[in-house]
Structure 1
Amino acid sequence: MTDREHLSTLQSYVWTLELLGEALVQHDEVLECEHNPQLSVRNTAGIHQAIRIISQLASEQFAKLEAMREEGER
């Protein structure tokens, strides 16, 4: 992957994290009037898990970019 491809992937991950964060906020607002708490907990857990996975993928892409940059400096 080129630097540009890594950056594009990172940008996609960050945008997805922003969307998931917004979904979590909206979901929390809906919880106040929801009558099925088990479904709410499952949804919230799914959003949190997706955030963790995407954060890990973004971290891995950043590490690859850093490694490529360090190789280029040698």
Structure 2
Amino acid sequence: MEFSVTTTGEQTELSLTGDLQIMHANEMRDVLLQHLTTVQNLTINLTEITNIDVCGFQLLYATRLSAKKMSKNV
């Protein structure tokens, strides 16, 4: 899994590429939390994700819940 970050004004886009599966969960959690704590508006672009498992979906959902608690937009 690879990622890139693009910031335009107040909007940050985190683009993910490759597999979003359990083997990448720790790395991805750290990346998501790092960006979630430093920006107000985060878009997660999944168009280049080739495989995602339940762990990947759980991670994305947990990110959404964390953002809501922090009054941030995902």
TM-score interval, smaller chain: 0.3 to 0.5
TM-score, with length taken from structure 2: 0.34
Which protein has the bigger helix share?
1
TM-score, with length taken from structure 1: 0.34
Which protein has the bigger strand share?
2
Whose relative contact order is higher, 1 or 2, with alpha carbons under 8 Å and at least 6 apart?
1
| Higher gyration radius (CA) | 1
